[in-house]
């Protein structure tokens, strides 16, 4: 099994690390000195020890052993680095004896880098006067924190950096007296340093855990605090949200959720939260959304801070969910860790599903399972319907391959199949199995099969037999339905968006939960699953039937055209999830050629009266994709715009502009969505009102003219309509906004520019230091969805690759891969696909090759779809009065 992994030799095994960092430079080179003592067992005698180190300088290494009560000491005579493998080899003059007691002392030096990986610095502009010692330059102040997942603990200190080489950790940091240090565990003691105005902070020992979960941070921090309501070892646990000074009150919403979610998970997992504290830390520059370091969870600011008066309401949902997702990892991932990165989905798929489960528990009015179906399930379908997809469980050789599988398959498909399984077993039985799994493997490592075994035992069903293909095979099925009197025939095949499945790609026969409801009372049918290629289901009432109730099964359903029309007409009988599934399936089957795009357009026409945000979100996302695909075909593009305008006009005029205190979260989100959509579709009244409010807001006449949640929609409409003046006004807003989400919102609006000249100006701004590296993809995505300047973005990437794009983004491959994937995926042209492929053909694309494969597959699929359906879509639009 291990032959497909590039792992460290197994001659030594670590059990404990004592890490001490000192001489942290608060400017200049940002270097630091460190010492680490690693307690080891030497299992095989050898003259060398190989461990992980990346961009560290090792000054010295000495091994002390205790063998048959004799102490020996060995100094490394040679230290060499295998840079490509991120390893250091310590060579000793003599053979090292086999012993269970050895300690390796390494003195080293590292850099507090600016790459959002390892031990790194984040720049920010303080809102209050910071402590005098805080690192700063002419424009920014800095905080220091860590990001070790997947394989970057080795950038901070020499270690055995693999998830199943678990150990305990002692951490001590020498820092200025007026700053705060945090780590996974509470402070143990603070000593005066021998250096003036410095102190040494030591932390309690961690439980046994993986290196990627270790964390520390240093900065000018303050916090808000609450306590769990449950007692743990007789105490209510402290839960804190830490921020740089001046921002702590924006952590209150996350705090209110965090302490309740810790108690909720302790209850449903039947295992008490295992550490003595929970800290959440807002980090100003962050490559992902958040990181589940045990006891010190780090977040991008927009994923943990929320201001009721200034933030867009959509961020409230994001903060609540991300807090829950990361807290789920404290058990699932941290207490029990996947054995190797090929089973990353065990961490991420589960944390995604149970994160939403918690939010559904605390916010039932948000209908998060509807949101899950429209966001997570559809995103997973999109990626998994490409030839270029990968199975949930995927071979991973080394560090550079790991980061690319933090994708929609591991998170979204992973969580979708878990939802499918929990619906089949029932949530209670599923959570009982999860609890048994956590108890059996606590403080250790486990595999997918370990989870299946626990669930099989809890449910009395052979879970492995029906789930195995969902995890280990690529893709998912489409179930095609044929109607006969009183019965239906169902056939499964692998679904590809390009619709050109070959027999050798269609050999998987999935276990598919049928979820069939039929008859006037929508009774659940006795046949519960499909287990062969084709089956006949008898006793189906033709007056009404629906497959895959609530979209819990991870598959698409291809109904006969007349049945699709009937289900559209009977949509009052469908759940929110079922409406979303019906719309999403009709769209995707139009793209693949199983169905017709015109069937999708006719279906959504019947949804004009719909009042649910999540259903509208699905409709407008899919219609937006069709508009993107046909954006190069002028007459069809204009007709689709008219179609969209007619579709949204009644709903946008009904919902109006004013937010009412009494209305719920989803109504507010619907208003935001519809105003944005109507603006894009050219609704004159909406454009006029948005422009009026924009001018009042940006001139400073009336800041209340633009509700915080409508900034995005109004700014986007203004930039689309208002040329240079509106662009300049939003750029000013970007540099002056005090709201946490303001910069992200402005970048999304600035990408709506309509001319090559403004596109060039925006790209120069996007790649300037004014835009943090973590946010650059927001501008790329906005330009990609904007047909007027989509090609300008690709031209910039191509022409400025060597001197701008690659040097700025490649310090962190996660950032580069995300930028390219989001920025290039919206084309529908074989010529552009060939250009992109040709450009990267001779380059070293390790670290972003998977993303390029997704782009290539998607763009070619969209091009073939456009060519195939152009005539039939034109004909339908003409026949229905839009041309």
Q: Is the dihedral of CA 489, 495, 498, 500 positive or negative?
A: negative
Residue 703: other Cβ atoms inside 10 A = 10
Question: Which residue(s) pair with 221 in the sheet?
Answer: 244
Distance CA 789, CA 794 (A): 9
Distance CA 337, CA 544 (A): 46
Q: Which is nearest to 746 in space by CA: 772, 815, 673?
A: 772
CA dihedral 686, 689, 691, 694 (to 10 degrees): -120
**Distance (Å) of CA 194 to CA 107, 132, 197, 200:** 19, 20, 9, 9
**Can the peptide bond before residue 150 be classed as cis, meaning omega within 30 degrees of 0?**
yes
Distance CA 428, CA 459 (A): 10
Beta strands in 323-465 (DSSP E): 336-338, 444-446
Extract the tokens encoding 31. 């270097």
Q: Which is nearest to 303 in space by CA: 294, 290, 291?
A: 290
Token pair 């984040």 is at which residue?
122
8 A C-beta contact, residue 613 and residue 666: yes
Distance CA 755, CA 768 (A): 20
DSSP 727: H
Burial class, 502, CB count within 10 angstroms (exposed 0-12 / middle 13-18 / buried 19+):
exposed
DSSP 234: T
Extract the tokens encoding 231. 């007692």
Distance CA 502, CA 507 (A): 9
Q: Which is nearest to 509 in space by CA: 549, 479, 550?
A: 479
Q: What stretches of 558-633 show up as alpha helix (H) in DSSP?
A: 561-569, 576-592, 597-605, 613-629
Q: Which is nearest to 816 in space by CA: 861, 846, 785?
A: 846
8 A C-beta contact, residue 559 and residue 569: no
DSSP 804: I
Distance CA 1, CA 389 (A): 22
Distance CA 122, CA 299 (A): 12
C-alpha 26: how far from chain center: 32
8 A C-beta contact, residue 155 and residue 55: yes
8 A C-beta contact, residue 232 and residue 278: no
* End-to-end C-alpha distance for the chain, whole angstroms: 60
Residue 274: other Cβ atoms inside 10 A = 17
Question: Which residue(s) pair with 296 in the sheet?
Answer: 279
Residues contacting residue 319 through CB under 8 Å, at least 6 positions apart: 253, 254, 257, 303, 304, 305, 306
Task: Name the catalytic one among 162, 272, 326, 375.
Answer: 326
Distance CA 837, CA 841 (A): 6
The secondary element (H helix, E strand) that includes residue 658 is none
Distance CA 744, CA 769 (A): 15
**Distance (Å) of CA 483 to CA 292, 559, 563, 573:** 49, 9, 9, 21
> Is 875 tagged catalytic?
no
Q: What stretches of 737-812 show up as alpha helix (H) in DSSP?
A: 742-750, 756-766, 776-784, 790-799, 806-809
Distance CA 623, CA 874 (A): 15
Which of the residues are catalytic? 326
């Amino acid at each position: 099994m291990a032959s497909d992994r590039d792992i460290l030799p197994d001659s030594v095994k670590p059990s404990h690390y004592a890490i001490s960092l000192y001489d942290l430079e608060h400017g200049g080179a940002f270097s630091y000195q460190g010492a680490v003592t690693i307690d080891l067992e030497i299992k095989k005698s050898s003259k060398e020890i190989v461990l992980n180190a990346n961009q560290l300088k090792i000054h010295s290494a000495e091994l002390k052993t205790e063998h048959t009560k004799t102490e020996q000491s060995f100094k490394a005579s040679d230290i060499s680095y295998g840079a490509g493998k991120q390893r250091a080899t310590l060579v000793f003059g003599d053979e090292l004896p086999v012993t269970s007691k050895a300690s390796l002392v390494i003195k080293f030096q590292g850099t507090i880098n600016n790459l959002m990986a390892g031990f790194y610095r984040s720049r920010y502009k303080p809102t209050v006067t910071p402590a005098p010692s805080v690192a700063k330059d002419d424009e920014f102040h800095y905080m220091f924190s860590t990001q070790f997942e997947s394989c970057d603990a080795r950038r901070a200190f020499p270690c055995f950096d693999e998830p199943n080489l678990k150990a305990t950790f002692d951490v001590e940091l020498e820092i200025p007296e007026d700053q705060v240090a945090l780590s996974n565990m509470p402070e143990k003691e603070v000593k005066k340093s021998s250096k003036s105005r410095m102190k040494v902070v030591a932390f309690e020992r961690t439980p046994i855990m993986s290196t990627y979960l270790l964390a520390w941070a240093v900065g000018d921090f303050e916090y808000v605090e609450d306590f769990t309501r449950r007692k743990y070892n007789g105490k209510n646990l402290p839960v804190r949200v830490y921020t740089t000074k001046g921002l702590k009150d924006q952590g209150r919403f996350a705090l209110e959720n965090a302490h309740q979610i810790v108690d909720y998970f302790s209850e449903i997992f039947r295992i008490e939260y295992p550490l003595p504290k929970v800290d959440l830390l807002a980090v100003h520059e962050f490559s992902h959304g958040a990181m589940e370091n045990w006891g010190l969870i780090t977040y991008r600011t927009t994923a943990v801070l929320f201001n009721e008066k200034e933030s867009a309401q959509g961020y409230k949902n994001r903060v609540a969910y991300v807090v829950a997702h990361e807290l789920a990892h404290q058990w699932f991932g941290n207490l029990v860790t996947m054995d190797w990165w090929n089973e990353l989905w065990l961490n991420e798929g589960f944390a995604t599903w149970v994160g939403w489960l918690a939010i559904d528990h605390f916010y039932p009015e948000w209908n998060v399972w509807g949101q899950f179906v429209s966001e997570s399930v559809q995103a997973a379908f999109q990626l998994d319907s490409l030839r270029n997809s990968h199975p949930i469980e995927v071979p991973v050789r080394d560090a550079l391959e790991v980061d690319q599988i933090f994708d929609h398959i591991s998170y979204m498909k992973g969580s979708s199949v878990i939802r499918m399984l929990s619906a089949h077993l029932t949530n209670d039985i599923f959570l009982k199995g999860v609890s048994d799994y956590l108890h059996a493997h606590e403080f250790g490592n486990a595999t997918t099969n370990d989870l299946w075994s626990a669930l099989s035992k809890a449910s009395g069903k052979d879970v492995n037999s029906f789930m195995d293909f969902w995890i280990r095979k690529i893709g998912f099925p489409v179930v095609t339905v044929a109607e006969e009197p009183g019965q239906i025939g169902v056939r499964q095949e692998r679904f590809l968006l390009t619709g050109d499945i070959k027999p050798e790609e269609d050999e998987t026969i999935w276990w598919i939960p049928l979820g069939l409801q039929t008859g006037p009372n929508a009774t659940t049918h006795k046949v519960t699953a499909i287990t062969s290629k084709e089956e006949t289901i008898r006793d189906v009432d033709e007056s009404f039937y629906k497959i895959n109730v609530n979209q819990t099964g991870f598959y698409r359903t291809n109904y006969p055209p007349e049945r699709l029309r009937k289900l559209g007409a009977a949509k009052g009988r469908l759940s929110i999830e079922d409406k979303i599934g019906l719309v999403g399936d009709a769209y995707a089957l139009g793209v693949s050629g199983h169905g017709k795009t015109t069937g999708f357009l006719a279906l959504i026409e019947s949804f004009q009266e719909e009042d649910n945000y999540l259903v509208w979100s699905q409709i407008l996302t899919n219609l937006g994709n069709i508009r993107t695909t046909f954006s190069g075909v002028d007459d069809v593009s204009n007709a689709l715009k008219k179609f969209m305008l007619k579709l949204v006009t009644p709903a946008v005029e009904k919902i109006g502009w004013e937010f009412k205190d009494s209305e719920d979260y989803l109504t507010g989100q619907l208003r935001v969505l519809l105003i944005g959509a109507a603006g894009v579709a050219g609704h004159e009244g909406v454009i006029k009102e948005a422009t009026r409010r924009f001018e009042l807001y940006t001139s400073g006449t009336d800041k209340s003219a633009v509700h915080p949640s409508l900034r995005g929609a109004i700014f986007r409409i203004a930039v689309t309509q208002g040329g240079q003046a509106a662009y300049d006004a939003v750029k000013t807003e970007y540099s002056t906004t005090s709201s946490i989400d303001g910069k992200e919102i402005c970048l999304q609006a600035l990408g709506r520019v309509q001319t090559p000249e403004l596109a060039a100006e925006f790209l120069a701004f996007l790649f300037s230091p004014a835009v943090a590296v973590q946010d650059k993809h927001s501008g790329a995505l906005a330009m990609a969805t904007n047909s007027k300047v989509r090609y300008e973005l690709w031209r910039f990437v191509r022409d400025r690759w060597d001197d701008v794009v690659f040097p700025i983004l490649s310090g962190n491959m996660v950032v580069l891969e995300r930028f390219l994937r989001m920025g290039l995926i919206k084309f529908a042209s074989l010529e552009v696909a060939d250009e992109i492929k040709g450009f990267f053909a001779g380059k070293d694309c390790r670290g972003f090759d998977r993303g390029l494969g997704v782009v290539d597959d998607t763009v070619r699929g969209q091009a073939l779809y456009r060519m195939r359906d152009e005539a039939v879509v034109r004909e339908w639009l003409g026949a229905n009065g839009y041309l």
